[in-house]
């Protein structure tokens, strides 16, 4: 029987290796040929793929934000239910938005006349701090005039020393009017009011000045509530 020599076998091995290499290289060339035209000769395809990835990324981020919002709303509702259990005379309402003006400081809430909301109703936040009072009530919503609105006013107490009129200003600050100079008012004094059996804190005295041409003190108050971060309110019946 004829047997090929070792040199012939070695030669055939080289030939087989070259053939396999060329077949593999052919597949690589074909892949490059069909992919490069799409990526280089047709950039719109690449652009559309990038846009699709961007849309998917945006959708994921929006879904995540929705989940965070729902989680925050659930926390607010749980907190509101806890407050309602302790104080059943409080009415829970949500803030819909704020008046689009730098001059007026007004919020809109989702309760109105059909819910028994009337003008003058006081509003507090979840910590029990005063936010403002209802200025107008419509069928399905109400306007809540905030502490620092220039049209806001309300009688308050300074510690147990004296009473005065809490008033918003054009500059967004909060003042107490008609307090005489001999009342020994100090920075840090608590400003509050009493509604039924519920003491409601407004804030603290931030500045006290005597005026030369006025019988009354110039008193500025720092409110405890951050009115523009509030998304829920409690109305006092």
Q: Is the pLDDT of residue 141 over 60?
A: yes
- For the chain, give the percent of residues with pLDDT over 70: 70
Q: Indicate the DSSP class of residue 227.
A: G
Residue 110 included in any domain:
yes
Check: CB of residue 147 under 8 Å from CB of residue 202: yes
Residue 203 included in any domain:
yes
Residue 98 included in any domain:
yes
Q: What's the total number of domains in the chain?
A: 1
Residue 77 included in any domain:
no
Enter the pTM of the model: 0.63
* Angle value at C-alpha 73, between 61 and 132, nearest 5 degrees: 125
Domain of 116, CATH number, reads: 2.40.10.340
Beta bridge partners of 97: 108
Domain that holds residue 207: 91-237
Residue 27 included in any domain:
no
Q: Is the pLDDT of residue 66 over 80?
A: no
Q: Is the pLDDT of residue 220 over 90?
A: yes
Pairing of strands 232-236, 90-98: antiparallel
Residue 14 included in any domain:
no
Residue 47, classified by CB atoms within 10 Å of its CB into exposed (0-12), middle (13-18) or buried (19+), is: exposed
Check: CB of residue 181 under 8 Å from CB of residue 216: yes
Distance of alpha carbon 134 from alpha carbon 196, whole angstroms: 18
What residue has token string 């405890």? 224
Residue 137 included in any domain:
yes
Residue 83 included in any domain:
no
Each residue's pLDDT tens digit, 78-120: 555 555 555 657 888 999 999 877 788 999 999 999 999 999 9
Check: CB of residue 229 under 8 Å from CB of residue 107: no
């Amino acid at each position: 029987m004829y047997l090929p020599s070792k040199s012939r076998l070695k030669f055939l091995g080289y030939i087989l290796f070259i053939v396999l290499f060329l077949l593999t290289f052919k597949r690589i060339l074909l892949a490059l040929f069909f992919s490069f035209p799409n990526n280089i000769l047709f950039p719109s395809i690449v652009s559309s793929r990038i846009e699709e990835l961007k849309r998917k990324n945006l959708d994921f981020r929006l879904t995540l934000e929705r989940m965070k919002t729902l989680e925050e709303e659930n926390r607010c509702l749980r907190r509101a239910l806890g407050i309602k259990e302790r104080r059943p005379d409080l009415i829970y309402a949500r803030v819909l938005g704020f008046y689009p003006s730098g001059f007026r400081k007004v919020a809109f809430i989702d309760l109105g006349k059909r819910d028994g909301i009337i003008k003058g109703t006081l509003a507090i936040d979840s910590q029990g701090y005063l936010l403002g009072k209802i200025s107008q009530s419509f069928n399905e919503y109400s306007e809540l005039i905030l502490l620092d609105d220039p049209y806001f006013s309300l009688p308050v107490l300074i510690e147990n020393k004296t009473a005065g009129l809490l008033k918003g200003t054009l500059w967004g600050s909060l003042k107490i009017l008609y307090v005489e100079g001999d009342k020994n008012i100090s920075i840090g004094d608590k400003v509050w009011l009493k509604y039924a059996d519920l003491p409601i804190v407004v804030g603290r005295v931030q500045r006290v000045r005597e005026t030369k041409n006025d019988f009354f003190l110039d008193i500025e108050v720092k409110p405890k509530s951050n009115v523009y971060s509030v998304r829920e309110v409690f109305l006092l019946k």
